Structure 1
Amino acid sequence: MKIITSPAKLMNVDYSTDFLRSTTPKFINEAALIQSYLKEKTPKYLSELMEISSKLADENWERNQKWKAKPTAKESCPALFAFTGEVYRGLNATSLDKKAVDYLQKNHRILSGLYGLLKPSDKVMLYRLEMGRNFEFDEYKNLYAFWTEKVTEQLNSEMKKNEILLNLASNEYVKVIDRKKLNHQMIDFDFYELKEGKLKTIVVYTKHARGLVARFCAENNAETLNDVKAFNYEGYRIDEEKSTDNHLVFVR
């Protein structure tokens, strides 16, 4: 079983761990190519591309100038610990034991606009480049055009026959996977809050729940779809009536 999540805009590369030996991202040469174009862009361009303030644009311009394919330990961090957004608050990797981290190293992959596909141990530097932004470079109209074939083929090469792929990524990121060319069953998820008899989707809770599912799988060594259906952290329970073979619905 493989698990995919989106990255997060919030990052911190100060964490170090003995549980993971740092590795180099599979697509580091491709990341370097993207960065060579990104590095030339002005703060004003970055502000408009990512719809961010001039202060954030300046900060990310500086990150682009400092970025390198072979960062030092001080400049980088394993991807599992580098992202600190709501999904990763749910996952809370820094509190996991070695067995759970080993499970994630084997099964968890992070989609990335810059790095394509990351293992938990892959060294990343601070960056910001969302997959869905209309970033044109070389002959590519956007990042999907650049990454889709590469990421889909890589997932196919890493997955064994009959393995399932748990999609805990956002729509923006999972679009980079060509479902028609993926040789495996992909399972989608929905998370609802039951309020006054009505089911509601609350984005921040959904993001948190995605991380919780990844954590649950790691702590319980989940291997089958039935194992995943047992997810029950923070009050969630599966809704069997609303769930299908390819779509799991959890409610709390």
Structure 2
Amino acid sequence: MKILSSPAKLMTVEDYPKNAKTTVPHFIKEAEFIQSFLKEKTPQYLSELMEISDKLADENWERNQKWVPNPQKNECAPALYAFTGEVYRGLDALSLDTDAVAYLQENYRILSGLYGLLKPSDKVMLYRLEMGRAFEFDKYKNLYAFWKEKITQQLNRELNKGEIILNLASTEYFKSVDKKNLNAEVVDFKFYELKSGKPKTIVVYTKHARGLVIRYCAETNAQTLEDVKAFNYDGYILDDNLSTDKELVFCR
């Protein structure tokens, strides 16, 4: 089983176990190539590209100038602990035991606009580069054009025969995977809040629930889709009527 999620805009390189194993991202050369173009961009360009304030644009311009492929220990963190958005609040990696972290190292991958595909132990520096932004560089119209084939091929290399992929990534990020050329069935997820008996999607809760599913899989050593269907954290229960073989729907 492979589990995919999106990264997060919020990041830290300060709060992680100091004895945590670290590795070099598989696509570090590609990340360095992308950064060679990002470093040339002005704060104004970054503000317009990412639709962020001048203050955030200045901050990310500085990050781009400082970015290096081989950072010092105090400049980076393992990807599992570096991202701190809502998905990662649900995952709460700092409270996982060693067996759960080992499970994630084997089964969990994070899609990234800069790094392509990350293992939990891969060292990342602070950055901001969303996959869906219209960033043109070299001969590429956008990041999808650069990453889709590379990410798909790497996933296929890592997949064992008969494995499934749990897609807990956003639509923006999963578009970087060529689903038609994947050597695995993909299972999507939806999370609903029941309001007056009617299912309703609330984005922040959906993001948190994605992290909870990842945590559940790690804590229960989930190996099959049937294992995943038993997910019941924070009051979520599988809705058999709404679910299909290719999409699991959880309500609470």
TM-score (norm 2): 0.99
- Is the contact made by 2:76 and 2:126 (CA closer than 8 Å) also made in structure 1? yes
Query: Is 1:158 matched with 2:158?
Result: yes
1:220 aligns with 2:220: yes
Alignment of 1:181-220 (within 5 A): 181-220=181-220
Give per-residue Cα distances to partners, 1:169-220, cap 9 Å, x unaligned: 0000000000110010000000000011111000000000000000000000
Could you tell me which runs of 5 or more consecutive residues in structure 1 were left unpaired when the two chains were aligned. none
Name the counterpart of 1:55: 55
Residues 110-158 of structure 1: per-residue CA shift (max 9 Å, x gap): 0000000000000000000000000000000000000000000000000
For structure 2, list consecutive stretches of 5 or more residues without a partner in the other structure.
none
Q: Tell me if structure 1 keeps the 8 A contact 2:16–2:94.
A: no
Mapped to 2, the partners of 1:94 and 1:168 lie a distance apart of 20
Q: Letter of the aligned partner of 1:5 in structure 2?
A: S
- Structure 1: how far apart are the matches of 2:42 and 2:163? 44
Residue type of the partner of 1:198? K
Shift of 1:21: 1.3
1:73-97: per-residue Cα shift (whole Å, max 9, x none)? 1000000000000000000000000
| Structure 1 match to 2:123 | 123
Tell me how far apart the structure 1 counterparts of residues 190 and 88 of structure 2 sit (CA, whole Å). Answer: 18
User: What stretches of structure 1 move > 3 A for 4+ residues in a row?
Assistant: none
What does residue 46 of structure 2 align with? 46
Alignment of 1:50-129 (within 5 A): 50-129=50-129
CA distance in 2, matches of 1:107, 1:21: 16
Structure 1 letter corresponding to 2:187: I
- Structure 2 counterpart of 1:11, one-letter code: M
Distance in 1, matches of 2:71 and 2:17, equals 17
Q: Quick check: 1:19–1:98 contact (8 Å CA) kept in 2?
A: no
Residues 108 and 120 in structure 1, CA contact (< 8 A), matched pair in contact too = yes
* Partners of 1:32 and 1:99 in 2: CA distance: 32
Specify the code of the residue in structure 2 equivalent to 1:166. Answer: L
| Counterpart in the other structure of 1:172 | 172
The residue type paired with residue 29 of structure 2 is N
Q: Work out whether 1:148 is the aligned partner of 2:148.
A: yes
> What TM-score do you get using the length of structure 1 for normalisation?
0.99
Q: Which amino acid aligns with 1:25?
A: P
**Number of aligned pairs?**
252
CA root-mean-square deviation: 0.7
Say if 1:19 and 1:101, in contact at 8 Å, map to a contact too.
no
Specify the SS of the correspondent of 2:110: strand
Q: Map residues 27-46 of structure 1 onto 2, 5 A cutoff.
A: 27-46=27-46
Residues of 1 paired with 2:116 and 2:19: CA distance?
24
Contact 2:3/2:166, CA 8 A, preserved across alignment: yes
Checking the alignment, whether the CA contact within 8 Å between 1:26 and 1:118 is kept in structure 2 is yes
* Paired letter, 1:8: A
